[in-house]
Structure 1
């Protein structure tokens, strides 16, 4: 079974959160640092808010932080674009009768907005929201739970994700991992290349090529 991340993997949306983070911190006279970015990147919303409150020593409640992020993001997900080769690759997989599902740390509302706007949801059986489970994608338990949900063995699953942490989480559950380049995680490219079973710059590289597959 093929499992896909959304932000930064299927759609160009990571810059949405980079802009939100910069504005959120700027309102408080705080810099956007590598340490902050690493603390909130690709984690679930509540844990990102908890980290932000503690890391920045803010008086704001975690609920108020999340509400402000939502206000800053507004309707950005209605304007995101699909990454090169994605639509063609999903069509190819559909033609091969491959089972596909989304596993995302994205806010459910944003995910649904983007997938409906881009007409991509038709390719997937369903979506697993890490936020609703309260488990991060770096956690082996998430991936074991996903495999159980779909009635498959973890060893038969392949994850496509732009996050090294997520790829490591899936690998710890014995899944194959395909690393997907995104500029948001460009600094991890070298390690991603050495860690992942396959690493791609674009889904165009996988069109009608068998080397990434494992039934």
Structure 2
């Protein structure tokens, strides 16, 4: 099933888009001091290690229905918003539940786990705040649900980011650049002035298609193909603490 069928793209990739120039050098040296006007960050896997939490959700959700978690399931869901992911799950496993019922169940489990266990990766918050201190606009672009992220203790997402774009705001997967373009629009920044930080190769490719600079980030998610991410991104970062602020 093609995930893009879950919504009509408001924007599509523009092959003629003005691309942000590649930075000379490689991460982390090329990331500080900043040579871009706006930065767009993914959440899960990029600035927070939450793969294990969603693995718990997948195992509990499918297990309660007598199903095993397929090896490619988490990777497929990672580029979809909750509603598109629920539709995909219904079609793949032949479930009779509604999209809303599944989203509600995922939200409840996600909120419980994120409240007590989700943390930002070391060095990520310091870097985001340092960018803002240098006048760089910052946005969050995630397929995760706002209710889940707002449940985290000790992390004020609205204080950290100037704007947040969630999967429910843009009804297409990250194989389309819409979520990044919406983030840049809200920041008032041209795509060519933006850098996107992502742990997913598919997101990096679509951000490239929109003319944005990209930095791939190594995650602790075992489903990540780090070498693929390194290959398709302009820059690659192993650890946020490697950036010398």
Structure 2 length-normalised TM: 0.78
Shift in Å, 1:76: 1.6
Q: Which runs of 5+ in 1 are unaligned?
A: 209-215
Superposed structure 1 runs of 4+ greater than 6 Å apart: none
Contact residue 89 and residue 207 of structure 1 kept, 8 A: no
Q: Which runs of 5+ in 2 are unaligned?
A: 1-37
Which one is further off, 19-28 or 84-93?
84-93
In 2 relative to 1, CA 23–159 (structure 1 residues): closer, same or farther, beyond 3 Å? same
Deviations 1:41-100 (A, max 9, x none): 231000000000000111222222222222333422212111011122123212222111
2:133 to 84, 95, 103: 95
Contact residue 17 and residue 73 of structure 1 kept, 8 A: yes
Contact residue 80 and residue 174 of structure 2 kept, 8 A: yes
Equivalent residue runs for 1:147-186 within 5 Å: 147-184=184-221, 186=223
- CA RMSD, Structure 1 to Structure 2 (Å): 1.8
1:47 to 75, 84, 103: 84
Which one is further off, 91-100 or 170-179?
91-100
Shift in Å, 1:127: 0.8
Whole-Å separation in 2 of the counterparts to 1:158 and 1:185:
25
Give the SS at the match of 2:168. helix
Shift in Å, 1:185: 5.1
Which one is further off, 164-173 or 183-192?
183-192
Give the SS at the match of 1:132. coil
Q: Does 1:84 align with 2:119?
A: no
Relative CO higher for 1 or 2, CA cutoff 8 Å, sep ≥ 6? 2
Contact residue 180 and residue 200 of structure 1 kept, 8 A: yes
Which one is further off, 76-85 or 86-95?
86-95
Whole-Å separation in 2 of the counterparts to 1:64 and 1:7:
23
Aligned length: 207
In 2 relative to 1, CA 32–82 (structure 1 residues): closer, same or farther, beyond 3 Å? same
Whole-Å separation in 1 of the counterparts to 2:160 and 2:228:
30
1:14 to 51, 56, 59: 51
In 2 relative to 1, CA 94–147 (structure 1 residues): closer, same or farther, beyond 3 Å? closer
Aligned to 2:177: 140
Whole-Å separation in 1 of the counterparts to 2:105 and 2:58:
10
Whole-Å separation in 1 of the counterparts to 2:123 and 2:94:
42
Aligned to 1:36: 73
Contact residue 195 and residue 214 of structure 2 kept, 8 A: yes
Contact residue 139 and residue 187 of structure 2 kept, 8 A: no
Larger helix share, 1 or 2 = 1
Shift in Å, 1:120: 4.8
